[in-house]
Amino acid sequence: MTSSFNTVGLIGRRGTPAIRDSLESVLKVLLASRVAVVLEDDTAAMIGNAGRRDRHRYDRAPRLALGERADLIVVVGGDGSLLGVGRDLAHCGVPVVGVNRGGLGFLADISPEQIEVSLGEVLDGRYRAEDHFLLHARVRRAGEVVASSPALNDVVVHLGGMSRMMEFSLWVDEEFVYDQRSDGLIIASPTGSTAYALSAGGPIMHPSLDAIVVVPMFPHTLTSRPLVIRGQSEIRVVVGSSEPEPRASCDSQVDFLLTPGDEVLVSKYGTPLKLLYPLDHSFYGSCRSKLDWASRLGGSVAPD
């Protein structure tokens, strides 16, 4: 088999024997396709005996170097693994395909049973590509940006593990929106609309939309509802002066400790993440299967 890609990077989530089994299956497909293979250092360290036998047939490198060396990245793990890869490597513009060894798998679409066929089709150039834009969060303190991070799913302003309300002000494009008391605020991309924002009552957004959703978390007023704004907007959240240890979290993986009066600025990140899927991938099909839309009253299942 000849691939339409020249160099493929492989990243796997640390952990279980199931992850190692899938990594070895992916590595087998990649080596059969005659591409140059580069394993992330941590992935190379955890891969099984089959990988070690083929050590002379692949290279290894730190994660950030994969974005410069590879023209495709394969991620074995769950959506959380893809979130991390998106934040780390989206700026390189390298496309990413996910093998799902996690939970829902909205982003990582290839199942372990489909590795040989579906990954082979992607390597052969038969795939569907989607651009998923990221958010860019910055913390501004006394006029100076003191922390920043991209986020593929969402930026959340909250009080950490404390079960109490916080006060903050919301601005969009320097236009005042409201002062609010709630458990926090979720600012989500279309990709993140099916994650934390959905559980907080936000709308489901198609990944192709150029829009951002702002979802209050259990607001003190029942009239406060999710707000969908244009993707080019800049959002500014000003933390109330009386709140102890508020935080801003990016994808629930990167955490910034805030001080009263800090501003959290959120806008679109410069480079989108290009995700590759098999040709039969459907966003609505994923919603049916992942969100149980296929179920009918009485237990029957709607046809595909």
Query: Catalytic residues, which ones?
Result: 79
Burial class (CB in 10 A: 0-12, 13-18, 19+), 53: exposed
**264: which 2 tokens?**
């959290």
CA distance 121 to 101: 19
Rounded Cα distance, 125 and 114, in Å: 16
Task: Report d(CA 196, CA 202) in Å as an integer.
Answer: 9
DSSP run (H or E) holding 130: strand 128-132
The sheet that has 58-61: what strands, in order across it?
Answer: 58-61, 36-40, 7-12, 72-77, 96-100, 273-277, 128-132
CA distance 20 to 137: 34
Question: Distance between CA atoms of 204 and 211, rounded to whole angstroms?
Answer: 12
- For residues 238 and 263, the answer to whether their CB atoms sit within 8 Å is yes
Q: In Å, how far are 76, 153, 281, 290 from 111, measured between CA atoms? A: 10, 22, 12, 13
Torsion sign across C-alpha atoms 78, 80, 84, 86: positive
